[in-house]
Amino acid sequence: MKEATGELNMTVVTVVAIAAVGAFFYAFVWPNIKTSIARNTCANTCPSGAVDTVDIDAGTCTCSDGTIVEIESDGN
């Protein structure tokens, strides 16, 4: 019985560790990746290739020449 309890404890520790890594990725890494993808999309879409601002929520970016370009967004 003691061995089974140890196995359960290790399973719980593993699940909690995986959840912590997932939460860290979702909270800190994913927003940066999402912004980088949007900025690269805008740079490819802007006529001059230079981007001033990116608004992920609105799905738009402002090019350096003042042009506002709409980018596709999956809503996430």
Q: How does pLDDT run across 15-63, given as a tens digit for each residue? A: 999 999 999 999 999 999 988 888 888 888 887 778 888 888 888 888 8
Cα 28 to the center of its chain, rounded Å:
8
Rounded mean pLDDT, 8-18: 92
What sections of 1-76 are H helices per DSSP? 2-24, 30-45
In the block, which residue shows the tokens 């506002």?
68
CB 53 within 8 A of CB 61: yes
pLDDT of residue 73: 60
Q: Which of 25, 47, 37 is nearest to 72 (CA)?
A: 37
